[in-house]
Structure 1
């Protein structure tokens, strides 16, 4: 819901690790399967990446923070 709200208000987001590390091909040799690390799997679905890069201005940071505050204020 927060992801959709931010995108509707011009704030780009992404799910940073849509596939948890233990299920990525590079770690297949460890033998993990879906369900082995349920917390990691849940976080991989829910953890949002917010805009973060060297050129981000203070005004843009404030806009992102204000937009998040507005989201949570309306859901109380």
Structure 2
């Protein structure tokens, strides 16, 4: 993350693209996203953090309360 933090043109970073792993629970994915979000905020507070919803029968609203400033 430190290497990316020094790139002035960095506008956004996606933590994972369309995760699809039936053995990964929603709680585990939320934990990963929260840790990744916190790391980005620590080193590049101005960057958008993109969180993809799970593929399949996932409800995109399941992430709505994950972070204080979520945009869905």
TM-score using structure 1 length:
0.32
| Larger-gyration structure (1/2) | 1
Q: Larger % of helix: which?
A: 1
